[in-house]
A and B are shown apart, each in its own frame.
Chain A
Amino acid sequence: MNILVCAKQVPDTAEIKIDWENHTLIRDNVSCVLNPYDGYALEAAAKIKDRNPDTTITVISMGPVRAEEMLRECLAIAADQAYLITDKAFGGSDTYATSYVLAQAIQHIQKKRGMIFDAIFCGKQAIDGDTAQVGPELAEHLGYPQVTSCLKAEEREKEFIVLQERDNNKKVIGVTYPCVVTFTKPDTDPRFPTFKRKLAARKAAIPHISSTDIKGIDLRYAGIKGSPTKVRKTYVQATKTKGVMIESENIEKIIQELCNAVSKICEIRR
């Protein structure tokens, strides 16, 4: 089985700056990490490989050269091969343009390697953009079926069996190959890289794919120009004025304050 995992490098939520003029995020000088949900997708692929060692795991990311670091982490954890999709022409892509470029790059890699990926694994969402749209849009570009928000996946001969998390229940679903599956947080933590894999990952070659490499890519659909949505403005929401603090040893008094507060919202008789 051949699995492709889409991984995005995201800023560590701690300290993020914003370019107010261009309404974009300043990602320089902010430490960057593998999007946690993509870690869950990679772990799901690794579990399949544990059971079936013939499995290959390929990771791709679209982003600046800095994202190579994160791809090495993926190689250290479980991936066999990684590609970085990087080009100025791809900058500022919204989810439509991002998924278009990813789909083009996937087809390019398939052609080059003379194979087809049985499944494309994505994170459910990236913790910076937070849209959870790239997975389904990628599935649409490729014409594949999709299952979103999965906890685990098991391979069968003709279909994947996935466990999907939903608002109020879970579903066991079968999906035909090739497909796109997006992953959410399972009960167990992803594995850590071994020392040996870390060393190998440091030396691994990570090919870059640019717009000129991908034959037939239509740049009208990529980057800022190819993005139907535009960020008109960004702002930091004004924080609410601080409320009343109640600090007392007297429980009786606290309860009275609580009742007073609650009675403003709902009718409780006093």
Chain B
Amino acid sequence: MKDKKSNDIWVFVEIKEDGSVQPSSLELLNPGMQIAEKTKGKLVAVLFGSELQSAVKETAEYGADQILMVQGSEYEEYSTDIYTDALCILLKKYAPAALLIAATNNGRDMSPRIACRLKTGLTADCTGVDAEEDSGCLLWTRPTLGGNLMACIVCQEHWPQMGTIRPGTYKKKKIVKEHVEVRREFVKLGASRNRVRVYETIEEEGVPADLESAEIIVAGGKGLGSAQGFQMLQNLADALGGAVGATRGAVEEGWISHAFQIGQTGKTVSPKLYIACGISGAIQHMVGMSSANMIIAINQDREAPIFQIADYGIVGDIYKIIPEFTKKIVDIV
């Protein structure tokens, strides 16, 4: 779009398949608030779903000035066609300055279609977003080339300015607001149709509840040597109250499912503590975890690249260290 009607900042709040609110969407209300202050607009959260009462209530705790709720049975499950149609109708109606979307599977599936339909730009998979005070231009930061190069992207002549933001980049922040305006929107979908059909959902076993929001992650790589190694890591994770993650190396060996993979083609995490066990530290892995507050790496090869980003680098055999360490933690906790 060539025009905007307001300085408002929109955040698309995704509803997960189980009906709960996607935490990585709520995270975006945090930078959204700061940006809206700079652009002197409202912070608006937009929700689609079949039953939104509790989701709206939860969203209202995180700083939005206004909530647009679009309720209807057609939004029960995510559909590229229907979500794109409906969101584009709303965006044309209100023409906000910007739209932030969490870079989840659905977010990255839907956003490019919306951007393309509205003939605007979209910055992918950002690890930061800010706004210039005077111009209201959003500054999107993103890694490219497998994390080798950082770029600052702008979209100054088209609206809305759009970007997808990596889960875990920002923390959810509760804000007590006196009044949050909740507005029901009725979107009339013309001849739109859903051209894809979901026949079956194949659940994977033992999938991590929410790896992206775990505060402590114990991750394993090919150095584990076997699937049993992950049981050892699980014991440590349990003792610390954390979750288990993996490299693509370990996933490819078939020791653990893809849902646990961290990195460029897996999940992005930013826990308080990341313990890397038998992980060499390929750039594709490190882009997914390098923003952890503290990184401890255990590897028997003192030249392993993971030590470059580790706060504590331990040269040694994981099989000698982890069980002892776990015992100690169990003893003291």
Contact = CB atoms under 8 A, between A and B. Distances in A.
Contact of B119 (A95, A132, A184, A228): A228
A23 B152 CA distance: 10
Contacts of A168: 203-204, 207-208, 259
Which label, helix, strand, loop or mixed, suits the secondary structure of the A interface? mixed
Interface in A212-266: 227-237, 239-240, 242-248, 251, 254-255, 257-259, 261-262, 264-266
A107 interface: no
B145 A255 contact: no
Nearest to A23: B151
A127 B146 contact: yes
A244 B308 CA distance: 10
A175 interface: yes
B240 A266 contact: yes
A270 B283 CA distance: 36
A12 B125 CA distance: 21
Q: Pick the most buried of A129, A133, A167: most chain B CB atoms within 10 A of its CB.
A: A167
Given A13-B146, A96-B121, A140-B117, A146 B109 contact: yes
Contacts of A132: 108, 112, 124-125
A145 interface: yes
Nearest to B146: A13
A223 B215 CA distance: 43
Interface string B148-161: 11111111111000
Nearest to B203: A169
Contacts of A175: 195-197
Interface in A110-140: 127-137, 139-140
A176 B10 CA distance: 32
Given A244-B311, A245-B307, A170 B112 contact: no
B279 to A, nearest CB: 15
B315 A247 contact: yes
Range of interface residues on chain B?
35 or more
Contact of A246 (B146, B267, B294, B314): B314
A254 B273 CA distance: 17
Interface in B195-219: 195-204, 207-208, 215-216
B328 A146 contact: no
Contacts of A258: 296, 312, 314, 321, 325, 328
A161 B199 CA distance: 9
A269 interface: yes
A251 B313 CA distance: 14
B307 A255 contact: no
A18 B307 CA distance: 26
Contacts of B117: 140
A240 B332 CA distance: 31
Interface in A62-105: 94-96, 99
B260 to A, nearest CB: 10
Interface in A14-68: 16, 18, 23, 25
Contacts of A229: 121-123, 153-155
Contact of B196 (A99, A127, A147, A247): A147
Contacts of B208: 168
Contacts, number: 247
A211 interface: no
A179 B196 CA distance: 10
B122 A266 contact: no
A255 B198 contact: no
B149 A234 contact: yes
B34 interface: no
A243 B315 CA distance: 13
Contacts of A246: 312-315
A133 B112 contact: yes
A10 to B, nearest CB: 9
Nearest to A265: B273
Given A257-B312, A266-B272, A128 B153 contact: no
B149 A230 contact: no
B202 A171 contact: yes
Interface of B: 80-81, 84, 104-105, 108-113, 115-117, 119-125, 139, 143-146, 148-158, 195-204, 207-208, 215-216, 240-241, 258-259, 264-265, 267, 272-273, 283, 290, 293-296, 302, 307-316, 320-321, 324-325, 328-329, 332-333
Given A174-B199, A230-B153, A259-B328, 16 more contacts: A131-B124, A136-B110, A137-B116, A140-B84, A168-B203, A169-B203, A171-B202, A228-B157, A231-B153, A235-B150, A240-B290, A243-B310, A245-B313, A245-B315, A248-B316, A261-B294
Interface of A: 11, 13, 16, 18, 23, 25, 94-96, 99, 127-137, 139-141, 145-149, 159, 161, 165-176, 179, 184-185, 227-237, 239-240, 242-248, 251, 254-255, 257-259, 261-262, 264-266, 268-270
24 contacts: A16-B145, A16-B149, A96-B119, A130-B124, A130-B125, A130-B264, A131-B112, A133-B112, A165-B258, A168-B207, A179-B195, A228-B120, A230-B153, A230-B154, A232-B139, A235-B150, A239-B308, A240-B308, A251-B321, A251-B324, A255-B324, A261-B311, A264-B294, A265-B272
